[in-house]
Amino acid sequence: MIQFPDPNQADDDGLLAQGGELSPEFLLSAYCQGVFPWFCEGEPILWWSPNPRMVLLPQDFKLKKSLRQVINKRIFELQIDTAFHEVITACSKTKRRHEDETWITNDIIDGYVQLHKLGYAHSFETWFEGELVGGLYGLSLGNCFFGESMFFTKTDVSKFAFYHLVQFAMKNNFAFIDAQQPTDHLASLGAKSIPRKDFLEMLEKALQQETLQGKWTDLIKH
């Protein structure tokens, strides 16, 4: 394992280190230590461990009435791990407030695609009439899921994918979903900001459980 500096040494924004690479060994080592990469094209690789950290306990998920109606209409289909490259590429092209350029660089895409091929990174995909219209991706170690990014081309389709991630997490006894940075949107879904110290303790316990490695395609129950 690549040893990162103590996450508690990160600055106020969470920046911990720079440099290294985006190989599977580097990425897996980082996530095991509560660290993740976040940088823009042309910058050195920057590694972060923010304080506080936003997490969602699956049982705390708040299902809004509007999303429940979308689910009950059965107009969207959920797939897992059938279009990982398409999902992460779509996420990289999504325009976000307060960001002039994407942090999902070509190197990030290549790194996470490698993790997907190794069975650590996964995509939850929303399909409509045979077309990919939304989804999210992240990676899983132990019994936790590290959410990275999501995209949508129709109303509620990324929330539809997130709902199914939560259902999957509950069925497979996941301890938490890491949402990294606090946002009002995630808070409205039940996520909470916790001190980094508490997050690292939760992560240590989660990593003692077996990783559900491999493609999750056949593990979803419709």
How far from 210 is each of 131, 158, 205, CA to CA, in Å? Answer: 34, 28, 11
pLDDT of 98 reads 46
pTM metric for this prediction: 0.94
Residue written as token pair 């508490």: 198
Q: What is the dihedral of CA 195, 198, 199, 200, to 10 degrees?
A: 120
Average pLDDT over residues 183-198: 93
Sign of CA dihedral 116, 53, 70, 157: negative
- At 123-133, the pLDDT tens digits run 999 999 999 99
**Distance from the Cα of residue 220 to its chain's centroid:** 18
Structural domains of the chain in order of their starting residue, each with its CATH number: 7-48 (3.30.70.3550), 53-219 (3.40.630.70)
- Rounded Cα distance between 71 and 95, Å, is 26
Of 164, 160, 109, 116, the closest CA to residue 134 belongs to 160
Average pLDDT over residues 32-61: 95
Give the confidence band of 222 by pLDDT, cuts at 50, 70, 90: very low
